[in-house]
Amino acid sequence: MATSTPRGRPLSPHLQVYNLPITARLSVLHRGTGMILVFGTILLVAWLGVIASGSQNYLFINGILASWMGKIALIGFSFSLIYHLCNGVRHLFWDIGKGFENSCVNRTAYLTITIAVALTAGIWLLTTL
């Protein structure tokens, strides 16, 4: 426990120098995108509230969404959603005991991140062109 470590005592370097394998990186990303999506869902409900409240407010929120900050938020939300979906399917396969071999775990890791990035980029290219 962190609380039982005496102050000032040097820790052996671990997380700072340890090069995380791709599986660990994607695991962290899964949690991170999950947390983004919780806030994203609340913002989605806020967007619905604006639609329900009338066309004037909707025009205002459309202006925010069209700005570069709105664009970044939307791209971040869409990537988080698509990545969490793809990696979630990977997790569901693990839950039924499939795909645990080292080679398979690494292959699906690269496959997942490739599909997630390609799908996000594809959607944005298709909708903005």
Site residues, other proteins (CB under 8 A)? 1-3, 31, 34-35, 37-38, 41-42, 44-45, 48-49, 51-55, 58-59, 62, 65-66, 74, 78, 81-82, 85, 88-89, 91-92, 95, 123, 126-127
Nearer to other proteins, 17 or 52 (CB): 52
Residue 80 to residue 77: CA distance in whole angstroms: 5
Residues in the chain: 129
By beta-carbon proximity to other proteins, the closer residue of 86 and 109 is 86
- Give the residue from 38, 28, 29 showing the smallest Cα distance to 116: 29
CB of 53 to other proteins, least distance (A): 7
Whether the Cβ atoms of residue 58 and residue 66 lie closer than 8 Å to each other: no
